[in-house]
Amino acid sequence: MEDGDGLAEYVDLYDRYGEEFAEDERRLVGRVRALIEATVSDLQLQSERLRPDARLFLLVNYYELLVRPLRLRTSPMDEEEIFSRLRSDATHTLAKAAETTGEISGHLVMSTVNTEWHELQLGAEARVVSERRIWRR
């Protein structure tokens, strides 16, 4: 990736995201990162096609808005269940985004999530989390 394209910083942010977190949180971020990369591989998306900003968007939002809250709520969802559903959601989202031509940007991923929200398995769980506002500190 060339420095002049404005996306190189996203690669570094993606690679370093979560390194300052506690050990268990780093482990979960690592699982989310591995899930994203496995999904990209399974869908045979060219690495140049899924832009670094899209990878970072998925990593931050999957961890901060789904994995972390679902693990912190009063009745935590089983970790394997979270990742199973998240894998399904990632596959659905990226497959839909890949139906377009050209690069898959963070903006396109966000638009796809918005359009496909009703099809995502963790959508109902996220609604329960948001109603309880558990992310407030």
Highest mean pLDDT among 2-6, 17-21, 74-78: 17-21
Would you call 2 helix, strand, or coil by DSSP?
A: coil
- Categorize the per-residue pLDDT at 59 as very low, low, confident or very high, splitting at 50, 70 and 90: very high
Q: Are 18 and 25 in contact (CB under 8 A)?
A: yes
Residue 2 is assigned to a structural domain of this protein: no
91 lies in some domain: yes
Q: 50 by DSSP, 3-state: which?
A: strand
pLDDT at 1: 44
> Does residue 14 fall inside a structural domain?
yes
In a domain, 41, yes or no: yes
What is the domain extent for residue 42? 7-132
What is the reported pLDDT for 129? 55
Residue 2 is predicted with a pLDDT of 47
Structural domain count of the chain: 1
The residue count of the chain comes to 137
- Asked if residue 57 is part of any domain, the answer here is yes
- What digits encode the pLDDT tens for the residues 93-137? 999 999 998 999 999 999 999 999 999 998 767 665 555 554 443
CA-based nearest residue to 100, from 33, 45, 42 = 45
Q: Is residue 1 part of a domain?
A: no
- Over range 61-83, report the average pLDDT: 91
